[in-house]
Amino acid sequence: MSRMCELHIQSVADRVKDICHTLCTPARIEHMLGVESLARKLVPRTEVPDETIRLLSWGHDMFRDLSGSRLLAMARHYGIDVNETEETYPTLLHGKVAANYLVFCYDIDDEVRKAIHWHVTGSTEMGELGELLLIADMGEEGRPFEAASRIRLKAFVDKKKTVLDVLRSKMLWSLRENRPLQSEIVLCWNNYLRRDLSDAD
């Protein structure tokens, strides 16, 4: 990555942090700090620089505390194809809205965009940064449930298998809460499971 590119990401990440401090709750800020801390530990600096980790960690939930009506309005503004489940539960749109906002305002890198865009459901398109964000989002230190600590530990051993654990956890939550499963998460689960099974052959 060029120095100019790093400087661009750094200034965008700083700006996004400022926005988060005006739009997000204190608990959300704590969560973002937790995501940043775990994501930093999971990959070496030579693979993913600090400023990219910072942008992922703060950008993914920058709009998580906005109202549903505001998220729907922003989704329509950016021409996002809102599905029936997102129409009913607009909070699910916060990743897609943030990714579109960051591209529109700051022309962010496509790998960062995909990671933020897909962090709610996962996707076969999310890439390695998407896997990192998915894991750090679920496994960060502030998450109080048992599955999070298992995810946190396993991520240091095998990221691909940990992605499956994160998806399982997300789907079980939806089932317990009587929420619909989004097609993206099912497709992502099937794809990662198939890869895991073929690796085991």
How far is residue 160 from each of residues 85, 125, 131, 135, 165, measured CA to CA in Å?
A: 27, 14, 8, 10, 9
Using CB under 5 A, pick the residue from 61, 131, 165, 184 that binds Fe ion: 61
Neighbours of 164 (CB within 10 A): 18
Nearer Cβ to Fe ion, position 61 or 86? 61
DSSP 8-state secondary structure symbol assigned to residue 93: G
Nearer Cβ to Fe ion, position 61 or 131? 61
Using CB under 5 A, pick the residue from 36, 86, 109, 137 that binds Fe ion: 137
Closest CA to 125 of 71, 187, 179: 187
Amino acid residing at 82: V
Stretch that binds Fe ion, among 56-64, 72-80, 125-133, 141-149 (CB under 5 A): 56-64
User: Measured from the CB of residue 144, what is the shortest distance to Fe ion in angstroms?
Assistant: 14
Q: Quick check: 86 binds Fe ion (CB under 5 A)?
A: no
**Per-residue tokens: 123:** 């996707």
User: Measured from the CB of residue 136, what is the shortest distance to Fe ion in angstroms?
Assistant: 9
Residues that bind Fe ion (CB under 5 A): 61, 137
